[in-house]
């Protein structure tokens, strides 16, 4: 997929503004933005296109309609194509590969060089929680609620919630929500740090989130990318390993012209001008 293909998307709408902020919006409000086959095919392709062309510095993940997402669309399970005649081990291997592909969709949000900000209104259910746990920040409206629905449906959440949620809220609360499938309301989510801030409505939330995204995008893309890289690495490694990785990373990044530009702009009392990251080589 190329950026020029974005107008033909089925599950999403993508806009890139003059601040280099890309807003990826779930665009099936008539289906409560459920995650159908188009969703799973298009989201990683959108991220790859933005990376390939270095077209954005920040991503906002939002949605159209009253609700953020109802989660996995049941039609997706039809594509697994199971047959009673399949040999059990081969059928299990096929199912495993399918789940790994779904997981990669949200891991793309975590691995992209750009910070990703979630803006959530109304219901965020099942796969929606998997998705927003892979983003850098979460903001929501006062009527938002979150539900790890899978346990109530007789399955175990398998696309990232259980692997990430304990990094973004206390373990005890994460386990309570996962075991019980109860709703987590906006104010409770804020109290426990799952979301950064709660807004009255979607319009107010999107205005604030877009302003924040523009502020981040005004900084050096090299510095922002390095910061995301280090935060993610440090989450998964020891302090000593992370410090060593930081030293290696910084030995290269200190050569950037952006440092001189930032200092020069500060002395001249003007807004610094930074170049975009180079397009990413994607095979």
SS3 for 188-253 is: HHHHCCCCCEEECCHHHHHHHHHHHHHHHHCCCHHHHHHHHHHHHHHHHCCHHHHHHHHHHHHHHH
Instruction: From residue 258, give the alpha-carbon distance in Å to each of 78, 140, 254, 262.
Output: 50, 33, 9, 6
Say what the pLDDT of residue 142 is.
Answer: 98
Say what the pLDDT of residue 148 is.
Answer: 98
Say what the pLDDT of residue 77 is.
Answer: 76
Say what the pLDDT of residue 206 is.
Answer: 98
Residues 232 and 146 in one domain: no
Say what the pLDDT of residue 80 is.
Answer: 62
Say what the pLDDT of residue 113 is.
Answer: 96
Number of domains in the chain: 2
Instruction: From residue 271, give the alpha-carbon distance in Å to each of 52, 215, 282.
Output: 27, 12, 32
Say what the pLDDT of residue 84 is.
Answer: 73
Give 270: exposed, middle or buried? Use CB within 10 Å, 0-12, 13-18, 19+: exposed
Residue 249 sits in a domain whose CATH number is 1.10.12.10
Residues 185 and 102 in one domain: yes
Say what the pLDDT of residue 283 is.
Answer: 63
- What digits encode the pLDDT tens for the residues 93-143? 999 999 999 999 999 999 999 999 999 999 999 999 999 999 999 999 999
Say what the pLDDT of residue 180 is.
Answer: 98
Does the residue 236 lie in any domain?
Answer: yes
Question: CA-to-CA distance for 129 and 35, rounded, in angstroms?
Answer: 12
- What digits encode the pLDDT tens for the residues 156-181? 999 999 999 999 999 999 999 999 99
Residues 237 and 189 in one domain: no
Residues 106 and 21 in one domain: yes
Residues 227 and 171 in one domain: no
Residue 181 sits in a domain whose CATH number is 3.90.226.10
Residues 212 and 225 in one domain: no
Does the residue 96 lie in any domain?
Answer: yes
How, if at all, do strands 137-141 and 197-199 pair? parallel
Does the residue 157 lie in any domain?
Answer: yes
Residues 254 and 160 in one domain: no
Say what the pLDDT of residue 274 is.
Answer: 96
How, if at all, do strands 12-16 and 21-26 pair? antiparallel
Residues 213 and 236 in one domain: no
Instruction: From residue 224, give the alpha-carbon distance in Å to each of 3, 72, 120, 229, 263.
Output: 23, 32, 23, 9, 17
Does the residue 272 lie in any domain?
Answer: no
Does the residue 274 lie in any domain?
Answer: no
Does the residue 94 lie in any domain?
Answer: yes
Residues 247 and 206 in one domain: no
Does the residue 281 lie in any domain?
Answer: no
CA dihedral 260, 263, 269, 275 (to 10 degrees): 40
Residues 40 and 171 in one domain: yes
Q: Which domain holds residue 259?
A: 221-267
Residues 40 and 137 in one domain: yes
Residues 94 and 212 in one domain: yes
Q: For residue 2, give both structure tokens.
A: 């190329």
- Residues with pLDDT less than 70, the chain: 79-83, 282-283
């Amino acid at each position: 997929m190329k950026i020029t293909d974005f107008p033909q998307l089925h599950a999403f709408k993508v806009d890139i503004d003059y601040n280099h902020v890309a807003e990826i919006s779930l665009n099936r409000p008539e289906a409560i933005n459920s995650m159908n086959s188009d969703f799973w095919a298009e989201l990683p392709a959108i991220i790859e296109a933005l990376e390939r062309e270095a077209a954005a510095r920040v991503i906002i993940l939002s949605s159209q309609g009253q609700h953020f997402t109802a989660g996995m669309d049941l039609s997706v399970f039809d594509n697994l194509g199971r047959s009673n005649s399949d040999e059990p081990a081969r059928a299990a291997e096929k199912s495993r590969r399918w789940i790994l592909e779904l997981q990669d969709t949200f891991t793309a949000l975590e691995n992209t060089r750009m910070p990703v900000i979630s803006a959530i209104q109304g219901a965020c259910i099942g796969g929606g929680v998997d998705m927003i746990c892979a983003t850098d920040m979460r903001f929501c409206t006062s009527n938002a609620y979150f539900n790890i629905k899978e346990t109530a449906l007789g399955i175990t959440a398998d696309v990232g919630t259980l692997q990430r949620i304990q990094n973004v809220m206390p373990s005890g609360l994460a386990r309570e929500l996962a075991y019980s499938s109860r709703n987590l309301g906006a104010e409770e989510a804020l109290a426990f740090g799952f979301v950064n801030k709660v807004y009255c409505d979607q319009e107010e939330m999107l205005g604030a989130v877009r302003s924040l995204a523009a502020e981040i995008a005004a900084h050096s893309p090299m510095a922002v990318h390095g910061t995301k890289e280090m935060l993610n690495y440090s989450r998964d490694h020891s302090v000593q390993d992370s410090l060593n990785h930081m030293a290696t990373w910084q030995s290269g990044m200190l050569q950037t012209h952006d440092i001189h530009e930032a200092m020069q702009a500060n002395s001249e009392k003007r807004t610094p001008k930074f170049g975009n990251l180079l397009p990413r080589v994607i095979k």
